[in-house]
């Protein structure tokens, strides 16, 4: 079951896309870290968001769309089209993470925008954009993969037409001996969709940014304090989102800090040079602890599994990244938004209260 909300169906008219920019189509279950990802992309002068499709997951799909509209209103980019996606997985019922993201998906603390969506469905839009602009658009799924799987069922060559497909989900290779098996909500929420997506034909352009790396992309207490010290609507919203996320994460580490799961994947989409390690191989799926372990079917050091490596499409999984460069770029975007306060030559942001490119006191 899903909650029905009043919504406006609309058809947008936008100027032609700027050929000098990176074109991105975001598929999102807009919760707290998704909102940060959207803010990051909206802050980049060299990025053009061609459209945003929504999915259930962190929150029901209509709340996801309303949350997108809230972020776009803040950024004064309400011209970007929003397309409503699937309400539930291909098999079974949707699992909604309101215990993390709040009932409304944004921590239940913001006045949200009106729900307005295009008359074209998310699946139709994902397929159409790939065929209208082959090789030019980056597809960026941040939630359960149901929309993407249904688009692939419509067009099995879909990934051959996108420039890249950078997915927040999965867990990289198998863990090192003694390491923990990691699972993620995005692939666990629709196993069948994940199987379709990671099994689809591609041209080496499908990237897994899994919880093996995103869990280490920490936004700590200094980040929150620095954002809160900046008296702009953009920085205050970013700080409020982080504060709401910390309400959940404080019980993991005993500190008000959190992992920028979607944020890391989005910075990698935009600045892949921050990646310092990769592993490539087919993906397999193992039920684990009531969830789903979605992993590249190789050991942590890149060797075949003892039972053999399955056949299938190859996925590139991130295994390490430049944490300092990620944090500088990401926090700069959350702090300054489209005001474009300059980065220094090392790419460091310097919000109020920072010294030498780092938060005061760090």
Q: Could you list the active site residues? A: 261
Coil, strand or helix at 189: coil
Q: Give the C-alpha separation, 158 to 309, whole Å.
A: 25
Cβ neighbours of residue 16 under 8 Å, at least 6 residues apart?
A: none
Which stretch of DSSP H or E encloses residue 23?
A: strand 22-28
Task: Return the SS3 of 343.
Answer: coil
What is the chain's length? 362
Cα–Cα distance for residue pair 145/142, rounded to 1 Å: 8
Assess contact for 170 and 182: CB atoms under 8 A: no
Tokens representing 71 are 């972020």
**CA 64 and chain centroid, separation:** 13
Burial 119-139 (b: 16+ CB within 10 A, else e): ebbbbbbbbebbeebeebbbb
Determine if residue 289 is left, alpha or beta; phi over 0 gives left, psi from -120 to 50 gives alpha, anything else beta.
left
| Residue 347 structure tokens | 């790419």
Distance, in Å, from the CA atom of 52 to the CA atom of 126, rounded to the nearest integer, reads: 9
- Asked if 142 and 166 count as a contact pair (C-beta separation under 8 A), the reply is no
| Tokens of residue 208, six digits | 């897994």
């Amino acid at each position: 079951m899903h909650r029905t909300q009043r919504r406006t169906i609309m058809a947008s008219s936008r100027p032609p896309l700027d050929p000098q920019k990176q074109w991105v189509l975001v598929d999102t279950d807009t919760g707290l870290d998704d909102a940060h990802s959207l803010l990051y992309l909206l802050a980049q002068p060299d990025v053009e968001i061609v459209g945003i499709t929504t999915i259930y997951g962190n929150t029901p799909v209509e709340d996801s769309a309303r949350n997108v509209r809230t972020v776009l209103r803040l950024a004064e980019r309400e011209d970007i089209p929003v397309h409503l996606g699937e309400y539930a997985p291909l098999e079974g019922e949707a699992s909604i993470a309101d215990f993390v993201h709040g009932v409304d998906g944004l921590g239940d603390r913001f006045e949200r925008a009106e729900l307005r969506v295009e008359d074209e469905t998310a699946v139709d839009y994902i397929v159409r954009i790939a065929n209208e602009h082959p090789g030019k658009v980056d597809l960026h799924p941040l939630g359960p993969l149901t929309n993407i799987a249904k688009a692939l069922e419509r067009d099995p060559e879909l990934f051959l037409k996108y420039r890249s497909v950078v997915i927040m989900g999965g867990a990289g290779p198998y863990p090192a001996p003694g390491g923990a098996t990691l699972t993620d909500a995005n692939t666990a929420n629709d196993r069948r969709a994940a199987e379709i997506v990671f099994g689809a034909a591609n041209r080496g352009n499908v990237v897994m940014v899994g919880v093996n790396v995103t869990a280490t992309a920490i936004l700590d207490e200094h980040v929150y304090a620095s954002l809160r010290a900046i008296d702009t609507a953009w920085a205050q919203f970013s700080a409020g989102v982080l504060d709401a996320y910390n309400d959940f994460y404080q019980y993991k580490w005993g500190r008000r800090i959190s992992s920028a799961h979607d944020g890391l994947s989005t910075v990698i989409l935009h600045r892949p040079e921050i990646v310092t390690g990769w592993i490539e191989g087919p993906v397999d799926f193992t039920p684990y602890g009531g969830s789903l372990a979605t992993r590249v079917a190789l050991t942590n050091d890149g060797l075949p599994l003892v039972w053999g490596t399955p056949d299938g499409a190859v996925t590139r999984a991130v295994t390490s990244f430049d944490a300092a460069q990620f944090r500088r770029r990401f926090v700069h975007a959350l702090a300054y938004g489209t005001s474009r306060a300059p980065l220094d030559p090392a790419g460091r942001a310097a919000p109020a209260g920072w010294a030498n490119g780092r938060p005061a006191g760090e």
